[in-house]
Amino acid sequence: MHNANDEGKPTCELTLAEAPPINGLKLGMTSDEVLALFPGSREDVEIRSTLSGPPSKFGTSSFVITPNLYESKEKFSGMSQITLRLLDGRVSNFTIGYHGPEFSHVDKFVAKFIEGKNLPAVDQWEAYIGMDTQLKTLTCKDFEIRVFAGGPGGNLNYVLMTDLEADKKAKDRRKRAREKANAGV
């Protein structure tokens, strides 16, 4: 299943449907589905004002959740904030920031992160050159996960999960708009 030898091919064949939920949070959810995980978040003035605005001309929008403000905070303990980006009303990527702990190596964070999830072992994750001890990426068929360990006490630790197809769609829209704008000059 994992074939890291073929250049340019993902090391993980998992599809978007197989992307693991993180405490119930999944790629492709609607903002309503996300807010349902955080009882009380619908009444949050900042979130309401962000979500009531129209998406950008490219169909993107984003909002931030601070888990410890809501009733479900126990379920999200250790998480400082979650930044969600949406494309056409569905979560296209999200970043979960953590309060720590401090890890001596990103592999230890990855090992903890993959516990109980259907994800490849640590050695299948690719180190980021120049940040080998802090940043690792797993590229699957339809999604990518980045895990970063750093900061005093691990206060910069984060996990970023991206829907690669949605990401490509958003980039293509921006590129087409730039080309259209340049053609009109």
Q: DSSP letters of 126-139? A: EEPTT-TTTEEEEE
The domain spans of the chain are 16-183
Residue-wise pLDDT tens digits, 122-145: 999 999 999 999 999 999 999 999
In the chain, alpha helices (H): 31-36, 45-52, 106-114, 164-183
What DSSP state is assigned to residue 61?
Answer: E
Residue-wise pLDDT tens digits, 42-93: 999 999 999 998 889 899 999 999 999 999 999 999 999 999 999 999 999 9
Q: Using 50, 70 and 90 to split pLDDT, how confident is the model at 184?
A: confident
**Residue 4 clears pLDDT 50, i.e. is over it:** no
Confidence bin at 9 (pLDDT 50/70/90): low
Residue 175: its pLDDT value, please? Answer: 93
